[in-house]
Structure 1
């Protein structure tokens, strides 16, 4: 080693620093000594040089996360998102929520979907809160949607006394409503299934779900039905924006203890593959005989206030329409017992079987068992049913028919013109002898006499029909009963 290299080697060796201890963020110089130099000389680089730690770069062992991205970068990324994605990322954490709600991101969305005038559009940036524009935008879009939709619902049907079928159908199509069924378990977790299979009839609408994948009801404590209402609309195309955020409105909740319920209730219809059960308030559930999983579910809604319940509710509680004012009359001793109009329809999910309206119904003295009885059809006023009473069904892979079952719709209007009672439910026709009905008319075949019955807390309905030797089906009797309790509540009466 020449003198120059020897001097350089000794100098660098004397100025080397030891690696920092674990957790020590500072470098410290190694004391000059022969033993230290001897030990470290073996670790020197090949050319005899060693870089001082004062100028070395240490690599951090901790991995960077997405939460360390600066706010400016996140805002730039979020600026490429639509309303649906902004609402989605706002659920990640509080920091992302604050950024995703920023007015700078919602201003272009507001200008595109929400302003009513040029003045409002130009003043979109003049807001005081950092996240005010999002709330204003969503509220404004909902108001515009509802104003556009409710213009269809200004007239009542002169036939049924409720909103007309075609108007409700237009409103639901224009609002792009779709339907969601939720299975709720014991922990209140929801498994949701969507459907757009809606059929609107004279007095009611029916929604059907039939694309289940081995869904069992054993661990289900409740079933909830929601309407899903898009918020943002393309006014030029007249439809909801693709992947638009939507509001959920709770329509009905059905508490369910399936095992105990099935053990105490018989199906309203069955065939070789399914059993159909009719539950309270218009819910029908079909299960496979082999395995017991859900085959399809149907639910019926009367058209009265249906659009209000869809668009004005929330995900926690159903919308409650205002009750009609209580009516009193000190002169009429039978006030509340006359002047009713009743419309009855038997149908499938898609087609009408039979429809009839009964006007000016009176109950003079036929009060018993807590009901006011109204005669709709007497035996000598028989009416023919031109179609077979049958309930077609389908799933994604199968379809079939259930005999002696159909959907029953009823609307009762009182003498003030307000809705008194509505029904939309799956019913079965039972053999008349099982129902305690005696058919003595010699024109009919006793073995072919059947009856339909429905009852709830407001009223009851009974219908009898029979087949002739020519296989024609005639309705031989129809009765309507309204509870005296409901009549007393409506008219402040005291009937017993």
Structure 2
């Protein structure tokens, strides 16, 4: 900038009349100049000097900005940036976007990144001159690194658990660790501005993963229009260490979106649990929110993510639409009149965020005639049977500074496998136990039919689950009944049947 300034000042100074009788001005004439040479010398023009003075004044007051930096200098600066920084600067303006994305033939910012992180076969092809265009280097680099990451991660998910019929817990946990995935909770206001918070902890169980956020600073839900949960998936990995590169750019996959008008929602829904400090609310699709009683700000948020297709939903979705798993083909059978009503397996687990309370699997479930109310009912535990619950039904919670417990609340995980071995229904949701309704309730064993009997219920558009348990005088808890219900609509859709 100073060089341009000095050149302009020198140019103007060289054309300025500095003394009488200057040769430049005595020889120079204009169409309107009719005076003598001596007169011209005695009255030199002042226009050049005034322009030089004004220009010098402006240049001394004006400061250089980034828009004055030549492309070559910007490219030199950008060459010191990593992939994450290049993506960030590409969002500043159109000019920086073109430079950071290698839109010019003379730029090659993404080539060293490509050579460092892309698969070896792609790197060798690029060095051999087989690469198509420099302008596609960034896109190809990111795409190939994502493919390489997914190929490495999905190798862990080749086997199904013989117990649950879905991917094994340890395999899913290893896949999540290898992908270095983390989760964001986004509060979206009326202007579609997002405030994103990264998860504080995650735990993987037999059938679901629990993700929790509790590091909030006075966040209120009254101005929130949507709640969104994203999985964030790093792109570049260190080949030797097998972990994501520090500050690696990441892709976001939306897992859930909840329209939320908190004031009206709280007015029509009661908390499923509470203690002296927080109220705990259960929203659809496994989302639980606790708010402080004093002030109403968010205390913690937790969500249950069923392991069925969880890794696919994390790695293969995008920031606008969630991943949709493939729908099993519709099955038909004209011979078996009860097709779709027998041979089911159901696994049920009650747990906290960290520990198991009760776990049981039920095989060979049949329903031939016990249908009603639009549901096919499968009896899991008969009234005369009993199964002991070894631990109390309680929901421990914590925040950055406080912790506590909420009685009669826990997490419910369910996996239902149909007679073809395909997953029919999955549940991972917070539930609460309530005093069992005696009027109209199904019969229970007389010894356990008392005022201490409690029930847990869950229902959605595919199925429902009912469980009853009772506490003895020795404070031992026994499950006295468990019933699974699947909607006839879902069964008819799956098996192209006409159950009524």
Q: TM-score, normalised by structure 2?
A: 0.88
Is the 1:228–1:249 contact (alpha carbons within 8 Å) kept by the matching residues of 2? yes
For the residue of structure 2 that corresponds to 1:92, the secondary structure is: coil
Are residue 457 (structure 1) and residue 461 (structure 2) matched?
yes
Partner of 1:310 in structure 2? 314
Partner of 2:299 in structure 1? 295
**1: CA distance, partners of 2:383 / 2:395:** 26
Q: Deviation digits for residues 314-337 of structure 1, max 9, x if unmatched? A: 000001010011111000001001
Is the 1:343–1:411 contact (alpha carbons within 8 Å) kept by the matching residues of 2? yes
Are residue 191 (structure 1) and residue 225 (structure 2) matched?
no
**1: CA distance, partners of 2:441 / 2:492:** 30
Is the 1:439–1:446 contact (alpha carbons within 8 Å) kept by the matching residues of 2? no
Counterpart selection for 2:327 from 312, 323, 329:
323
Counterpart selection for 1:249 from 249, 253, 268:
253
Partner of 1:81 in structure 2? 81
**1: CA distance, partners of 2:94 / 2:52:** 40
In structure 2, relative to structure 1, the CA distance for the partners of 1:84 and 1:435 (3 Å cut) is farther
Aligned residues: 466
**2: CA distance, partners of 1:489 / 1:413:** 15
**1: CA distance, partners of 2:122 / 2:393:** 59
User: How far 1:443 moved relative to its partner?
Assistant: 3.4
In structure 2, relative to structure 1, the CA distance for the partners of 1:215 and 1:439 (3 Å cut) is farther
Q: Deviation digits for residues 376-431 of structure 1, max 9, x if unmatched? A: 00122100000000000000010000000000000000000000000000000001
Counterpart selection for 1:156 from 147, 155, 160:
160
Which stretch has the larger CA shift, 196-205 or 428-437?
428-437
User: How far 1:98 moved relative to its partner?
Assistant: 1.1
For the residue of structure 2 that corresponds to 1:448, the secondary structure is: coil
In structure 2, relative to structure 1, the CA distance for the partners of 1:72 and 1:486 (3 Å cut) is same
Unmatched tracts of structure 1, length 5 or more:
1-10, 18-30, 41-50
Are residue 258 (structure 1) and residue 265 (structure 2) matched?
no
Is the 1:445–1:469 contact (alpha carbons within 8 Å) kept by the matching residues of 2? no
**1:43-58 pair list within 5 angstroms:** 58=55
In structure 2, relative to structure 1, the CA distance for the partners of 1:124 and 1:195 (3 Å cut) is farther
User: How far 1:56 moved relative to its partner?
Assistant: 8.2
Q: Deviation digits for residues 220-263 of structure 1, max 9, x if unmatched? A: 11111000000000010010000000000011111111111111
Is the 1:340–1:362 contact (alpha carbons within 8 Å) kept by the matching residues of 2? yes
Counterpart selection for 1:239 from 240, 243, 259:
243
User: How far 1:121 moved relative to its partner?
Assistant: 5.3
**1:392-407 pair list within 5 angstroms:** 392-407=396-411
Counterpart selection for 2:219 from 215, 233, 241:
215
Is the 1:252–1:318 contact (alpha carbons within 8 Å) kept by the matching residues of 2? yes
Which stretch has the larger CA shift, 372-381 or 340-349?
372-381
**2: CA distance, partners of 1:459 / 1:118:** 48
User: How far 1:467 moved relative to its partner?
Assistant: 0.4
Which stretch has the larger CA shift, 456-465 or 113-122?
113-122
Is the 1:435–1:451 contact (alpha carbons within 8 Å) kept by the matching residues of 2? no
Partner of 2:120 in structure 1? 116
**2: CA distance, partners of 1:487 / 1:450:** 30
In structure 2, relative to structure 1, the CA distance for the partners of 1:454 and 1:56 (3 Å cut) is closer
Is the 2:288–2:303 contact (alpha carbons within 8 Å) kept by the matching residues of 1? yes
Partner of 2:65 in structure 1? 65
Counterpart selection for 2:380 from 371, 376, 379:
376
Counterpart selection for 1:12 from 12, 19, 22:
19
User: How far 1:494 moved relative to its partner?
Assistant: 1.0
User: How far 1:353 moved relative to its partner?
Assistant: 0.2
**1: CA distance, partners of 2:440 / 2:452:** 14
Q: Deviation digits for residues 196-243 of structure 1, max 9, x if unmatched? A: 511100001110000111111111111110000000000100100000
Are residue 276 (structure 1) and residue 283 (structure 2) matched?
no
Q: Deviation digits for residues 135-169 of structure 1, max 9, x if unmatched? A: 11001100100000000000000000000000000
**2: CA distance, partners of 1:435 / 1:288:** 36
Q: TM-score, normalised by structure 1?
A: 0.88
Is the 1:326–1:492 contact (alpha carbons within 8 Å) kept by the matching residues of 2? yes
Which stretch has the larger CA shift, 436-445 or 339-348?
436-445
Counterpart selection for 2:342 from 338, 341, 352:
338
In structure 2, relative to structure 1, the CA distance for the partners of 1:272 and 1:353 (3 Å cut) is same
